[in-house]
Amino acid sequence: MAGVSGCLKYSMFIFNFLFWLCGILILAVAIWIRVSKDTQELFSSDTTSVAVNILIAVGAIIMILGFLGCCGAMKESRCMLILFFIGLLLILLLQVAAGILGAVLKPQSERNLNETLYESVKYLSTTDDSGKEFQKALMEFQETFKCCGLVHGPADWGNNFQQNYKSCECPTSPDSSCTIYDGKNVYREPCISLIREVLAKHIIIVIGIAFGLAVIEILGLVFSMVLYCQIGNK
């Protein structure tokens, strides 16, 4: 009977160890998004909440699969390897389904984002505590991305403009991207278009990561099945 290839065995272990680390990274990022107050206030929507919950679940599952793969390779356990294979195959199929669903629902997601942003304008002009966190988050966004207001420009701030204009104040030198509003030189462009750009860039990054993970997952399926067969023939 042929023996188990040591090279394949340790390659499988290293692969799954890296896979396990990817799970930890995904889980850590998802939890950070979940607990970050600024992120919650700026992108507070049911769609975002569901996406973060999915990321947490995926990170946890990848960690479990990575552990199964490592133990299966080192202990030469066919049971662990077949569980790893089935779990990884299900994740790959779910990724494909999520990609198709995301493409189909993209127009609806964009509409939901627009509705959420337009509804959030009211938090900028409110004077009670309900809008304080959102105002703080948008001021940080304005300062970073050189914009002012959420949808309609500086007017979105209403009576709160004079106390919050510093975050969207233009430099003293004349600039075509600036305008005079209520006696202050501030950025002309509202933040809604920049928020869309930031989200679009993040989506491209997520798609790239998903494709990279798909390649890694296919390699994992091949490694695990070859090792499974070699153990069976030993």
Q: How many CA atoms lie within 13 A of 185 on its CB side?
A: 9
Asked, for residue 144, whether it belongs to a domain, the answer is no
- Which range, of 3-7, 76-80, 83-87, 168-172, averages the lowest pLDDT? 3-7
Is 138 within 8 Å of 146 (Cβ atoms)? no
pTM score, whole prediction = 0.63
* Overall number of domains in the chain: 1
165 versus 207: the higher-pLDDT residue is 165
pLDDT at 43 over 60: no
224 within domain boundaries: yes
Q: Quick check: is 181 in a domain? A: no
Phi/psi for 188 (5° steps) reads -80, -40
Q: Using CB atoms within 10 A of its CB, is residue 229 exposed (0-12), middle (13-18) or buried (19+)?
A: middle
**Whole-angstrom distance, CA of residue 179 vs CA of residue 197:** 22
Q: Is residue 145 assigned to a domain?
A: no
Q: For residue 7, what pLDDT band results from cuts at 50, 70 and 90?
A: confident
Burial of residue 71 (CB within 10 Å: 0-12, 13-18, 19+) is: middle
pLDDT tier, 190 (very low <50, low <70, confident <90, very high otherwise): very high
* Per-residue model confidence as pLDDT tens digits over 106-124: 777 778 878 888 888 998 9
Residue 57 covered by a domain: yes
Q: What is the pLDDT of residues 48-107, one digit of tens each?
A: 566 667 777 878 888 888 888 888 888 878 888 888 888 888 888 877 877 777 777 777
Domain that holds residue 63: 6-111+203-233
What pairing do the DSSP bridges indicate for beta strands 178-181 and 184-187?
antiparallel
Q: How far is the C-alpha of 145 from the C-alpha of 147, rounded, in Å?
A: 6
* 176 CB-contact burial (10 Å; exposed 0-12 / middle 13-18 / buried 19+): exposed
pLDDT score for 204 = 78
Q: What letter would DSSP give residue 169?
A: B
Within a domain: residue 51? yes
Which residues touch 4 (CB under 8 Å, ≥6 apart)?
76, 227, 230, 231, 234
- The reply to whether 193 falls in a domain is no
- Tell me what the mean pLDDT of segment 177-186 comes to: 89
Q: pLDDT tens across 81-90, in order?
A: 888 888 888 8
- Which tops the pLDDT comparison, 6 or 25? 25
pLDDT in the model for residue 155 = 92
Residue 138 lies in a domain: no
